[in-house]
Chains A and B, each alone.
Chain A
Amino acid sequence: MPKIIKNREIIDDQWTTLAEPEQELETTPESTNIIVNLAYWLENKEALTARKGKVGVLLLGSDEPETFQEELKHIDLIAVDFPKFGDGRGYSISRILRERFNFTHEIRAVGDVLRDQLRFMERCGFDAYALRADKDMNEALASFASLSVEYQSDVLEKRPIYARRP
């Protein structure tokens, strides 16, 4: 079973991403937790929520949580795709999900996810990371703690530095 980092620990991934849900769903057991793309979710949400397994939704950088905020209460996980390391749209998406829409389930970073961005992601509300396959997860865990001083207000720490200063 593939591994991911969740809450700073390496665990077995409990979810299966269906790149082509139309074809793959038939052969996927009822109880498997699945991740499908947003368009498929929007068209098939009744059937999907009726399944035994949980359903997560994969968002692209261009997807806007504002346009489907009503759906969020039926969604058990959101995966945000980073097509490239340097494409930072996912950071804003995650903050909006957490801070504006109070989404409390897992938000997972997928795609070109490397250790040097994990703490930034965490501060923006991500709690799970599917590291790029060629990277060492144990080493990556160390990078969460490389910078201990953070000036800004973020998802985890509302108070900016000036409100925390002794």
Chain B
Amino acid sequence: MYAYKEYDQLLLNERVEQFRDQTQRFFKGELSEEEFLILRLQNGLYVQRHAPLLRVAVPYGMLNSTQVRKLAHIAKTYDKGYAHISTRQNVQFNWPKMADVPDILAELASVQMHAVQTSGNCIRNTTIDQFAGVAVNEVADPRPYCEIIRQWSTFHPEFAFLPRKFKIAVSAATDEDRAAIRFNDIGLRLVENAAGEIGFNVFVGGGLGRTPIAGSLINEFLPPKHLLSYLEAVLRVYNRYGRRDNKYKARIKILVKALTPDVFRDKVAEEWKHLVNTALDLPDAEVKQMQECFPEPAYEALEDNPAALMSAKKDSSAFSIWYRQNTDNHKKSGYRIVTLSLKPISVAPGDVTTDQLIAIADMADQYSFGEVRTTHNQNVVLADVKQELLYELWEKLKSFDFATANIHTINDIICCPGGDFCALANAKSIPIAEQIQRKFDDYDYVYDIGEISLNISGCMNACSHHHIGNIGVLGVDKKGKEFYQVSLGGDSGFDAAVGKIIGPSFKEEEVANVIETIIKFYIDQRIEGETFLMTYQRIGMAPFKEKVYAKNN
């Protein structure tokens, strides 16, 4: 992965001192609450229900084992012994003291980490396909472009005070969109044209929240050379014309919708005329240099399906189920991508303890070239594991509670902190996840249900992307009581669909039963080989609705 150059480190060290000074000025009363708010938000510091929340950036989800150990140290020293993986592949600490934050940032800077632009109305951390660089079907490794975007967007002088936050996601896989790029402010998809050249599909104006909408394609083939000039043109149009009078209408999606995607595209093209063929051009040599910052690890020449793996699969059905659910094909033969489930039952999805973090770092060193990835599904990935060592790794994963074989199942729930932690919540979300996991505790049944996504958000901010879960659950407030709205048919992939609300919302204690009814009905209705989403797309909402509300009466 990218290793900081001297100037990257210098910038970070200076940033820590700058924030220390800002914090001191705040404590001395020289900065008002409101002034400090904007400054601390640019540094990932929120004030939440119980304590400040510090969000640490994990650029495009990549960590090395040293960084993971540092996170463990911070969790133990400054927090209550755990950290939380967010749906933007970042890491959050829920209990730091405001006065400790400059010290925490200094600790992070010592391992090339920071909290810059993890909140506030600026360009946020770029997210990515968590299998980037190791996936089987990939046009090119997207990470070098993400690093180029990271540097371009870090303290960009023109775009620090946008109308609202701004999120970019990148993906390069041909078969699957694992980064939900069409639900970002800008989604970039690397593609190859007929001439064999590489370029980007540029989608703009996707997003969730109160107005869920899939991004529109405004450029079908943007050569990498023009990546930064084009991004700058989009951001400038947004910075100037995005709404600032109403924060719920300030995201770029509202501007794109109001202008129409065609007019927006023309405005960008007009602006771009002035920016293309300037110093913003990205020379091939620079792209190449950046690619060299992401060297392939020292893979060995290995065969697929070595004897050790085959016999382990035969001898242990639990291992073989885990292998099927929690590991994926790797571009190199003899290797496998392993996903660690952070979602055993009765743990808040995405939470990891200090001991678990240390274990992840150790296992990464031993089995995966010392690298770790976080996923927007709030799990952790070891991307380069030898197949012959999978059984050994699995034994270790079990002892740290990472081996629940539930990836892509109904129990792999994406869930925000919700009412237990988040000041904005309308309702709790973690207990709902637990309720559902308890309902679906028969794993034969869980595997029979097959691939499905279930997302739970505690309010309209949709941090858990409930609109694009095949099943979405949203906490709503009805006269001071917590209710839950259920939606079906969301799809975060290439087809990018926003789920539809099934009908009136449910009481807390009804949610798991409703989900069970929906699932039972799908199993009744499905045709051989259909996933939940395919059945839903074929038969539509009406029969599901009828079933759910008939039973309730």
Contacts and interface: CB of A to CB of B under 8 A. Distances in A.
A162 to B, nearest CB: 5
A68 B396 CA distance: 69
Contacts of B157: 91, 119-121, 123-124, 150, 152, 154
B274 interface: yes
A89 interface: yes
A116 B282 CA distance: 30
A47 interface: no
Among B151, B161, B162: residue with most chain A CB under 10 A = B161
B7 interface: yes
Contacts of A91: 157-161, 239
A153 B14 contact: no
Contacts of B71: none
A87 interface: yes
Interface string B93-129: 0000000000000000000000000000100000000
A123 B17 CA distance: 21
A163 B280 CA distance: 10
B494 interface: no
A147 B14 contact: yes
B160 A162 contact: no
A146 interface: yes
Nearest to B161: A88
Contacts of B151: 151, 161
A61 B159 CA distance: 14
Interface string A138-166: 00000000111111111000111111010
A117 B160 contact: yes
Contacts of B8: 149
Contacts of B154: 151
Q: Which of A86, A93, A154 has the most CB of B within 10 A?
A: A86
B225 interface: no
A158 B279 CA distance: 6
Nearest to A62: B240
Contacts of B274: 99-100
A61 B154 CA distance: 24
A89 B238 CA distance: 9
Given A92-B236, A100-B274, A147-B18, A162 B289 contact: yes
Given A91-B157, A147-B11, 7 more contacts: A61-B244, A86-B161, A88-B161, A120-B160, A146-B18, A146-B21, A162-B289
